[in-house]
Amino acid sequence: MIRALAAVGPGAPEFASFEVPGWVWAALVAGITTLLLVDLLVVHRTPHEIAFKEAALESTVWISIGLSFTFIMWAWQGGGASLEYLSGFLIEKSLSIDNVFVWAVIFGYFAVPRLYQFRVLFWGIFGALVMRAIFIFAGVTLIERFDWVLYVFGAFLIYTAFKIFRGHGSEVHPESNPVLKLVRRVVPSTHEYDGQKLFTRRTGTMLATPLFAVLVLIEATDVVFAVDSVPAVLAVSREPFIVFASNAFAILGLRALYFLLYGMADRFRYLNQGLGVILAFVGLKMLAVEFFHLPTWASLGVIIIVLTITIWASLRADRRDIPPDDPITDAERASANDPT
């Protein structure tokens, strides 16, 4: 198995690094696969529109599962590994919120009925897990062989943080996406939906439905987000098992989170600023790894504080902008009650 880099140069931090038996990897993948299949074949065996309460309940369950894995890491490898996992989970979860809002744009562009959105997201999540695994092992391998890659990752994260902070991190224009243009040019397609099917037969010809194009576009945008999130998690852990597990458990609940946050992008007005600060922080942490080490618990504290302030400030600003129930001013009310 690929061993994570324990240290980079003199004075560099000691990251959790341990041998992971093959059966442990198999158990993790089997557990993730089981959760996906239960969600698809039991919880959502029949297509239906997911209401807010259902999405809230499912989001709570998925987040609880992801957080609970922290205790498994603590019991197995100790506090250091569990803190690295929790930090990676929170980073990936917070960065994925932007991904959720991009999905809303894609579904809106293709006018995908909410009835069929879950099935597309299921296959999108499945593909995302595979791509994240590739990115993670490639990233760890590069760091092991070339120390200078750390500085490339750090500089890239700071650049991305600047773009996101200015509000350019989640812009997506499906109509001009080169991947979508390629799909429409190469794959025979129809503009008509056929339930949840990705392909349908018309006059004896197999054609791709719009859901296929939606799935391809979702996978393409996830590659872009993975380029940001995987280096960010590598700033707090170099053990592939921890990085993959934190990514996987954060991604598993994104479908429920999408239906929970559907149409609420405007309420999180400071999300980009918060994500930009987090990415800049982990980017600087990666650049300074050889000269200064911030303990994992301190990094986790910074992430939690930034997320808390971002959510609090967004909700407070949203409440401040809500007009009062009674538009009549005190002066107008007094005038109306004046008998003269």
Please write the tens of the pLDDT for every residue from 118-135.
888 888 888 888 888 888
Report domain extents, the chain.
22-169+212-319
Query: Tens digit of pLDDT for each residue in 209-244?
Result: 888 888 888 888 888 777 778 888 888 888 999 999
pLDDT (average), residues 241-250: 93
Sequence-separated (6 or more) residues with CB below 8 Å from residue 333: none
Alpha carbon distance 279, 225 (integer Å): 12
What is the pLDDT, as a whole number, of residue 5? 36
Q: Residues 24-44: what's their mean pLDDT?
A: 90
Instruction: Report residue 168's pLDDT band, with 50, 70 and 90 as the boundaries.
Output: low
pLDDT of residue 173: 65
Does 91 have pLDDT greater than 50? yes
According to the model, what pLDDT value does residue 17 have? 85
In angstroms, rounded to a whole number, what is the distance separating the alpha carbons of residues 59 and 43?
13
pLDDT of amino acid 72: 95
Judged against a pLDDT cut of 60, whether residue 205 lies above it is answered with yes
Q: Percent of the chain at pLDDT above 70? A: 85
Could you read off the pLDDT of 297-335 as tens digits, one per residue?
A: 787 888 889 888 888 888 788 777 665 554 544 444 444
Q: What is the mean pLDDT of the chain?
A: 80
What pLDDT score was predicted for residue 8? 39
Residue 32 CA from chain centroid, whole number: 16
β-strand pairing of 199-202 with 205-208: antiparallel
pLDDT at 336: 46
Q: Is the pLDDT confidence value at 9 over 50?
A: no
